[in-house]
Chain A
Amino acid sequence: MKTRNTFYDVVDKRFLLGLYRRINSVVKDVMRTRKGRFGLVTIVLVTAIAILAPVLAPYDPASQNLTARLTSPNTTYLLGTDSYGRDILSRIIYGFRISLLIGVVSVGVGVAIGTIMGTVSGYYGGWVDEIIGRLIDIMLAFPFLLLALIIVAVLGPSITNMMIAVGISAAPQFARLARGDALTASEKEFVTAADSIGRSHFSIIVEHIIPNIFTSVVVMATLYMGRAIIISAALSFLGLGVQPPTPSLGLILADGRDFIALAPWITIAPGLAIVLVVLGFNLLGDALNDALDPELQTGDKLQ
């Protein structure tokens, strides 16, 4: 018996072709606006830098040159050095890597947990919704940073734990979004229609609910990439996230704190780098929001 219950079955050739066309048209729509261009180019650039870090970085980010401590920017050290004589530029290049990794993994964790919780809650309703809904409310009552702080404090400071913590803290936001959208989607007639041809609840959720909440989740995930990077920078700054000597943007910032008057370049450069990445994600998210809005989509009507 062939059913389309599994992920593998859903991802057939036509689906992939459709997905490719869709992505193509979305990218075109994003590139049409100025914020979209800026966001997409920034993110692609930063991603490229992160991937090519070993090639691009002029020095080993951890190697210390104690004779060149706190050097101001010059031709040898383009962005100067920190108190251990490490090259700031190289550290920032590697810092992008860590920050993007943190962003992707923690948002991934948040999206996975949140979407499942929210979709199940919104689709089934009733007491399932009551329980999950209250859980979401409780988690939402804590500020994002505080919740992440609590979880890291419990799990212990490490980069993995921080990603889990940031992911879990973001999860209720995604759950709330997914719940609302799943609720709307499950009241749509096509869900009753899927019911009327005898689809199981599981395949209705996978095939009819999730694709219809997908766009808003993607947009919010993009926006939360920025937030996750800021939060992880903050946690690293506080010593609860990335541990030295791993270069992360937040950690470089923290290192420069003591020398802010003496060597401001240590803090300015990573600070600007964080702003750049977060701004990029926010603008991209904004542009994606416009591009993915089905109301604004163009399509040739048939007669």
Chain B
Amino acid sequence: MSLLEITDLETTFDTQAGEIVATDGISFELEEGETLGIVGESGSGKSVTALSIMGLIRNPGQVKNGSVRFRDKDLHSLSDRELRKLLGRDISMVFQEASSALNPAYTIGHQIEETLEVNDYKGDPRERAVDLLEQVGIPSPEENLDKYPHQYSGGMAQRAMIAIAISREPQLLIADEPTTALDVTIQAQILELFNDIQEEMNMSMIFISHDMGIIWEVCDRVAVMYKGKIVEIAETEQIFKDPKHPYTRGLLQCLPQVSEQLEPIKGTVPSGATLPGGCTFHPRCEYATDACVEGFPESARVGENHRASCYLYTDHDESGEAPSGKLPQNQNEKPINY
């Protein structure tokens, strides 16, 4: 059985512009020790997915539908108290901005010990905090425990937050753009830290990012999200070698490579209140047809452990054969301008 099983997760927000669907029927599974990347542009619902899994969606948002099974428990049917017992101990989270996720009013040590104590840690919390800081690579941990977050540099604060997240050796770690706010060299160090920790503790991770390069570094599998839907999911190598969905291709073309022209995806992510009908990506898609304007394509099998939601592939559904797809090789063959 998978560690985490998400079925048809639907989270909505009530706003003055009406109800906005942030995640629209998301389903995926996560095996033990596996790292799943969730990738997509801003506003595609990555963070909301993370918060929905943890049951931390707040007013005016709510999880409307779907279930989140963690081991044998349905997280959303647990009481608030039971859920909070699980959080921090079995499931924990690393946030994007360490500087705002750490409370400026308390020392780093205090905040690590808080996590330990709220989760019934039996040993000496201070000793454990020192060990943790050491584990995440913060120099002279004894001394740095008594410092406040504003005395930490960005990379160190991120390390401290990872220390808090792994303090009770969770089985699932959700990292929400944990390196986005850092500069590139620090980014590489933090990614390495994630890889090390995961290997050491054999935990599962959900790694959210908008950067395909980072996904490549840490993830076993990738789910590509667009406007609250997973449009393609496959193993990382597969996605990079043979991306099926036009959106995935677009994301990959946005990866900077020396001496090559960048190909930005045309247009911008539509706002939740003015979603286009049919496939939500069709106004930006080069291969859109009339079918794309009318309906949203079912997720279809396009290879081994590889699914995509695109009309280019629906004909080949469940045939078992990896289809070549109707993706034209010449990109100028069928441009559609909107």
A interface vs B, CB < 8 Å?
1-4, 14, 18, 125-126, 188-190, 192-200, 203, 207-208, 211-212, 294, 297, 299-303
Chain B residue with the shortest CB-CB distance to A124:
B59
Would B93 and A198 count as touching, CB distance under 8 A? no
Given contacts A4-B117, A211-B105, contact A198 B86 (CB under 8 A): yes
State in angstroms the CA–CA spacing of A67 and B11 once bound together: 85
Interface size class of B (residues with CB under 8 A): 35 or more
Q: List 18 interface pairs A-B (beta carbons < 8 Å), by A numbering.
A: A1-B120, A14-B110, A14-B146, A189-B97, A189-B101, A192-B95, A193-B93, A193-B101, A196-B93, A197-B87, A197-B114, A199-B114, A199-B118, A211-B106, A212-B103, A299-B150, A300-B151, A302-B147
Report yes or no: A193 in contact with B118, Cβ–Cβ below 8 A.
Answer: no
Task: Count chain A CB atoms within 10 A of each CB in B51, B96, B115, B120 and give the residue with the most.
Answer: B115
Q: Are B151 and A299 in contact (CB under 8 A)?
A: yes
CB distance from B136 to the nearest CB of A (A): 15
Centre residue among B58, B119, B147 by max chain A CB count within 10 A: B58
In the complex, what residues of A have CB within 8 A of residue B92's CB? 196-197
Query: Distance in Å from the Cβ of B226 to the closest Cβ of chain A?
Result: 24
Given contacts A192-B51, A195-B54, A196-B54, 20 further A-B contacts (CB under 8 A): A1-B120, A2-B117, A2-B120, A3-B118, A4-B118, A14-B107, A126-B59, A188-B100, A193-B93, A196-B92, A198-B86, A198-B89, A207-B103, A211-B106, A297-B150, A299-B148, A299-B151, A302-B151, A302-B153, A302-B156
Closest CB in chain A relative to B21 CB, distance in Å: 21
Known: A192-B51, A192-B56. A197 touches B118 (CB 8 A): yes
Residues of chain A lying within 8 A (CB to CB) of residue B103: 190, 194, 207-208, 211-212
B interface residue numbers (CB < 8 A to A): 51, 54, 56, 58-59, 83-89, 92-93, 95-97, 100-107, 110, 114-115, 117-120, 144, 146-148, 150-153, 156, 161, 164
Contact between A189 and B117, CB atoms less than 8 A apart: no
Select from chain B the residue with minimum beta-carbon distance to A191: B103
Give the docked Cα–Cα distance between A301 and B54 (Å).
Answer: 34
Residue of B nearest to A3 (CB): B118
- Quick check: A197 and B59 within 8 Å, CB to CB? no
Are A190's CB and B88's CB within 8 A?
no
Number of interchain pairs (Cβ within 8 Å): 96
* Smallest Cβ-Cβ distance to B110: which chain A residue: A14
Q: How far is the CB of A207 from chain B (nearest CB, A)?
A: 8
Closest CB in chain B relative to A72 CB, distance in Å? 55
Residue of A nearest to B144 (CB): A302
B151 touches A195 (CB 8 A): no
The reply to whether B95 and A198 form a contact with Cβ atoms under 8 Å apart is: no
- B104 and A212 contacting across the interface, CB-CB below 8 Å: yes
Closest to B147 in A: A302
- A198–B85 CB distance below 8 A: yes
Q: How far is it, in angstroms, between the C-alpha of A196 and the C-alpha of B103 when the chains are bound?
A: 14
Complex Cα gap A189–B51 (Å):
12
User: In the bound complex, what is the Cα–Cα distance between A303 and B138 (angstroms)?
Assistant: 11
Q: How far is the CA of A297 from the CA of B97 in the complex (A)?
A: 21
> Could you tell me the distance between the alpha carbons of A74 and B44 in the complex, rounded to whole angstroms?
82
A124 to B100, CA, bound (A): 20
Instruction: A190 to B150: give the CA distance in the assembly, Å.
Output: 14
A4-B117, A302-B147 given as contacts; is B100 within 8 A of A195 (CB)?
Answer: no
Q: How far is B104's CA from A297's CA once the two chains are assembled, in angstroms?
A: 12
A212 with B105, Cβ < 8 A, contacts A196-B93, A299-B150, A302-B144 known? yes
Q: Is the CB of B100 within 8 A of A190?
A: yes
B95's partner among A189, A297, A303 (CB-CB below 8 A) is: A189
A267 CA to B287 CA, complexed, in Å: 88
